[in-house]
Amino acid sequence: DAKTTQPPSMDCAEGRAANLPCNHSTISGNEYVYWYRQIHSQGPQYIIHGLKNNETNEMASLIITEDRKSSTLILPHATLRDTAVYYCIVRVSGKAAGNKLTFGGGTRVLVKP
């Protein structure tokens, strides 16, 4: 699976949009971008994933650049409960690929009042 690079930390104001970048310059055509978050040692929580199109769900939006070398997770209106470590994970899809998730250090997001 391709390696990802994320800033170690960032702050965000409550009620504002939080934009979390992720670089995955070695991503290949069959690799998906997944985002998880972990709130204070709880189990990782799935947020969203995508291949090449932008995606949106009730939690967040995922913007993937046209060359797929980077992506941005957008939390549209951050709340204090969004304070967590956010992980960007690139993962090959398909049976032959195996199915483990490889977690990096993530971005520690602190939402401030």
Partner 1 sequence: EPEVTQTPSHQVTQMGQEVILRCVPISNHLYFYWYRQILGQKVEFLVSFYNNEISEKSEIFDDQFSVERPDGSNFTLKIRSTKLEDSAMYFCASSTRIGLAGLQETQYFGPGTRLLVL
Per CB under 8 A, residues contacting partner 1 are 32, 34, 36, 38, 41-46, 49, 51, 87, 93-95, 97-105
Q: How far is the CB of 15 from partner 1 (least distance, A)?
A: 26
Q: Are 37 and 85 in contact (CB under 8 A)?
A: yes
Q: How far is the CB of 92 from partner 1 (least distance, A)?
A: 10
Closest CA to 37 of 103, 99, 91: 103
Whichever of 14 and 51 has its CB closer to partner 1, that residue is 51
Q: How far is the CB of 32 from partner 1 (least distance, A)?
A: 7
Whichever of 75 and 106 has its CB closer to partner 1, that residue is 106
**How many other CB atoms sit within 10 Å of the CB of residue 59?**
15
User: Chain centroid to CA 23: how far?
Assistant: 10
Q: How far is the CB of 55 from partner 1 (least distance, A)?
A: 10
Whichever of 14 and 52 has its CB closer to partner 1, that residue is 52
Closest CA to 87 of 30, 49, 56, 31: 49
Whichever of 100 and 113 has its CB closer to partner 1, that residue is 100
User: Chain centroid to CA 52: how far?
Assistant: 14
